[in-house]
Each structure stands twice: as structure tokens, then as C-alpha cells.
């Protein structure tokens, strides 16, 4: 089974992809992970990506697409995967179609987490991270055992600069503008399965399993 997981920042797509990866025993592949792995192995593509990342610039689509193709061609992806973070635009969606034709494996389902903007703003502005190890917390849903202190390394818990309300709303505007055509693209292909994502983590997983995965068997 090969899935694409979509959703705006703060929709919980990374959390759901990790849960589903464990349940279905297929790899969870995120754009960030692909970049880190390519850079760590010192591949030519990794070095090219690092040149942009280290300057704080976006990695060009041509390099991202090549890294995605390289990753999806690896042995652990032959029985399935969950792709998270790519594509983000209609152009990238069309490029992914080409990649999938080249590797001979089409996407079976696109899981789209649909969360109201107000809920996402509330989620992200209440998110906190450990400034040392990067562990993620939430002021309401996932508090640390000791206020302001990381459970894992004892580091200080802080708010990311891009989790301020103004920045969050700008990020959401950019996402919605870029991704709306992509949602229609997969809807026209009959691959889109939209899930209301403002439920609990457990209920969202249940809805995905029931509405998306079971729907594939019908």
C-alpha cells in the first residue's frame, strides 16, 4: 500500500503518518528525513541540497524530485510507504506522477487531513519545543511533567519563532494558496480521501483506517 498524507501545518499529518507506518509496517517518508539522509550519506544530491539548506534557501524542485525518486526506488519502499511533505504544489504533484511511472508504483490513496483554520492556529500557537533536543509539547494536550522543562533531556521548553499567531496565519495562507489546486488534482484522479482532522489523535486514526483504508478494499 502506497499513501500520500496531506494537510496544513499543525494538522497532525506527521503524527498520523508515524502511527499508520507502525500499524501497517511500511516506512514513513518525510521530506525532511529524505534531505537529512541524503546529506548524511554524502550523496551528490545531498550535497546539492545542503548548499541551499545551509544558506536558509528552499531546495529547488528539481533536486527535491530527484531525492524523492531515489528514496522511493529503495528496497524498503517496494511493498509500500507513507509519503509526507511532498508534493506541496500542483507542479510537484505532476512531477510525482512522472516519478511513480518511472519506479512503476502508483499511489493508492491520498489522505487529506482537513482541519479548520482556527483550530490550527490554536494548536500551533500553543505548541512548544525543547530548545536542546527538539521534543514537542503542547500547552493543553501534551504538557511536560515539570513546567518549562523537557521530560527527556532537562532542557528549557520554548515557543518557536514561527509559531506566533501572525506567522502561523501567513504560513497557512501560503499553504492554502499552493495546495488547493493539488487537492483538486487528486480528487479528479479519484484518489482523495478527506478526513476531518480536528478530532483526537486516536479518533483521527480510526477515521483514516475506516474511511480511507477500508474504502480501498471496496
Q: 29 with 3: CB under 8 angstroms?
A: no
In a domain? residue 49: yes
127 is catalytic: yes
In a domain? residue 45: yes
The pLDDT tens digits for 86-139 are: 998 999 999 999 999 988 888 999 999 999 989 999 988 998 999 999 888 999
Catalytic residue, candidates 36, 69, 142, 160: 160
| Helix (H) or strand (E) run with residue 92 in it | helix 90-103
Distance CA 48, CA 38 (A): 10
Predicted local confidence at residue 145, as pLDDT: 96
In a domain? residue 128: no
In a domain? residue 154: no
2 is catalytic: no
Enclosing domain of residue 191: 2-117+165-217
In a domain? residue 102: yes
Q: pLDDT band at residue 161, thresholds of 50, 70 and 90? A: confident
CA-CA-CA-CA torsion sign (52, 57, 63, 68): positive
In a domain? residue 71: yes
| Helix (H) or strand (E) run with residue 168 in it | helix 165-188
In a domain? residue 54: yes
Predicted local confidence at residue 108, as pLDDT: 93
Catalytic residue, candidates 2, 123, 127, 207: 127
The pLDDT tens digits for 32-54 are: 888 888 888 888 888 888 888 88
Distance CA 123, CA 187 (A): 27
Q: What percent of the chain has pLDDT over 70?
A: 98
Q: pLDDT band at residue 80, thresholds of 50, 70 and 90? A: very high
Query: How many domains does the structure of the chain reveal?
Result: 1
Predicted local confidence at residue 92, as pLDDT: 93
101 is catalytic: no
Query: What CATH number is attached to the domain comprising 91?
Result: 3.40.50.300
Q: pLDDT band at residue 193, thresholds of 50, 70 and 90? A: very high
Exposure letters 6-38 (e unless 16+ CB within 10 A, then b): bbbbbbbbbebbebbbeebebbbbbbeebbebb
Catalytic residue, candidates 13, 71, 123, 207: 13
Catalytic residue, candidates 36, 69, 105, 171: 171
Catalytic residue, candidates 36, 88, 142, 169: 88
The pLDDT tens digits for 16-30 are: 998 999 999 999 998
In a domain? residue 138: no
Predicted local confidence at residue 216, as pLDDT: 67
Q: pLDDT band at residue 171, thresholds of 50, 70 and 90? A: confident
Predicted local confidence at residue 82, as pLDDT: 94
Cis peptide before 77 (omega within 30 of 0): no
Amino acid at each position: 500500500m502506497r499513501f500520500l498524507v496531506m494537510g496544513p501545518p499543525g494538522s497532525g499529518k506527521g503524527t498520523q503518518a508515524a502511527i499508520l507506518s507502525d500499524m501497517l509496517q511500511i516506512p514513513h517518508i518525510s521530506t525532511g528525513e529524505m534531505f537529512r539522509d541524503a546529506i548524511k550519506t554524502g550523496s551528490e544530491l545531498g550535497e546539492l541540497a545542503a548548499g541551499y539548506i545551509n544558506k536558509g534557501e528552499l531546495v529547488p524542485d528539481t533536486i527535491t524530485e530527484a531525492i524523492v525518486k531515489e528514496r522511493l526506488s529503495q528496497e524498503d519502499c517496494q511493498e509500500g510507504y507513507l509519503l509526507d511533505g511532498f508534493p506541496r504544489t500542483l507542479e510537484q504533484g505532476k512531477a510525482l506522477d512522472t516519478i511513480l511511472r518511472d519506479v512503476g508504483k502508483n499511489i493508492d490513496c491520498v489522505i487529506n487531513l482537513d482541519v479548520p483554520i482556527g483550530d490550527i492556529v490554536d494548536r500551533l500557537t500553543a505548541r512548544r519545543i525543547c530548545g536542546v533536543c527538539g521534543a514537542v509539547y503542547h500547552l493543553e494536550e501534551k504538557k511536560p511533567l515539570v513546567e518549562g522543562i523537557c521530560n527527556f533531556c532537562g532542557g528549557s521548553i520554548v515557543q518557536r519563532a514561527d509559531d506566533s499567531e501572525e506567522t502561523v496565519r501567513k504560513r497557512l495562507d501560503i499553504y492554502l494558496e499552493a495546495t488547493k489546486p493539488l487537492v483538486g488534482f487528486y480528487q479528479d484522479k479519484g484518489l482523495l480521501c478527506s478526513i476531518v482532522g480536528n478530532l483526537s489523535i486516536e479518533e483521527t486514526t480510526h477515521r483514516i483506517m475506516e474511511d480511507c483504508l477500508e474504502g480501498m478494499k471496496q
